[in-house]
Amino acid sequence: MIDKPGDTWSFVAAREPAVFPAAEVHGVPGVQHAADAGRTLCGIRGRYLTFYLHHFEPQYLASCHTCRGLAEAAPTRPCAQERLHDRLQADAPDSPLREDLLTALRRGARIAIWITAPAAGLTRHYARLDQLTEGAGPAAAALAAGGPSITLARVEDAGRGGAAHRYLVVLPFDGPPRIARGPLPPQDPSGPTVLPAAPAR
C-alpha cells in the first residue's frame, strides 16, 4: 500500500493490523505473548514478563494461542500516510505547500523515511537540503534547533501526470512541523522505507 498506491487507494483501504510488543513469561522461554498496558493480552501481569523490542508475531508457531486470537481481532490502526496527514493537518501552519502535501498523502504518496534520531545525523544523511526548492530555510532552521532528537519524514509524490515532488517534513518536539519541497528525480535511489515503530500501547 505504501509503495504502490493506485486509483482506488484510500486511508480506509490502507489501514494496518494492530501491533503489540512481544513478551515472554519468566521461566517459560520460547512462548511469545502480546503485551499491552503492562500485561499480556491473555492477562499475565508485567512483573512476570520479559519484554522485547520486536513486535508480537501471531503467525509464530510458539505464540500464545489466546494472545494470537486477541491480537488478530484487535482493531486496525491508521496507515503511515494517514498518521502523518492528521499530524500535519492539526499542527502545521496553513500554506499552499501544506495543502499540496496533504493532497499527496490522501493519494497514497510514498513515505520513504519517517525516523527519529539526532538532528545532525538526519541532516547529514537524509534531509538532502540542497535538493529543496521551496521551504528549505525554515526546515533547515528547525533541524539546526533540533538538538539530540528530532523526527524527519520524506514523502515522495509521483505526481499523477503532473510534477513529481519530494517533500521533507521536520517534526520538532516543541514546535510546529516544517515542510519543504523539491523535484523528485526520475530514478531516486532512496533506499528502503523506514517507518516509525508502533506507539506504546
Give per-residue pLDDT as tens, 72-120.
Answer: 999 999 999 999 999 999 999 999 999 999 999 999 999 999 999 999 8
Strands (DSSP E) along the chain, which ranges? 21-25, 33-36, 39-40, 49-55, 110-117, 150-157, 165-171, 178-183
Give the model's confidence band at 200: pLDDT under 50 very low, under 70 low, under 90 confident, else very high.
very low
Contact yes or no for 129/182 (Cβ under 8 A): no
User: What is the grid cell recorded at 56?
Assistant: 508480537
Quick: pLDDT tens for 163-187: 899 999 999 988 999 999 999 887 6
Report the b/e string of 1-25 with b at 16+ CB within 10 A.
bbeebeeebebeebebebbbbbbbb
- Alpha carbons 121 and 119: distance in angstroms, whole number: 5
Q: Is the pLDDT of residue 192 over 50?
A: no
- What is the 3-state secondary structure of 104-148? HHHCCCEEEEEEEECHHHHHHHHHCHHHCCECHHHHHHHHHCCCC
pLDDT surpasses 70 at 188: no
Percent pLDDT > 90 in the chain is: 73
Does 7 or 111 have the greater pLDDT score? 111
Q: What is the mean pLDDT of the chain?
A: 88
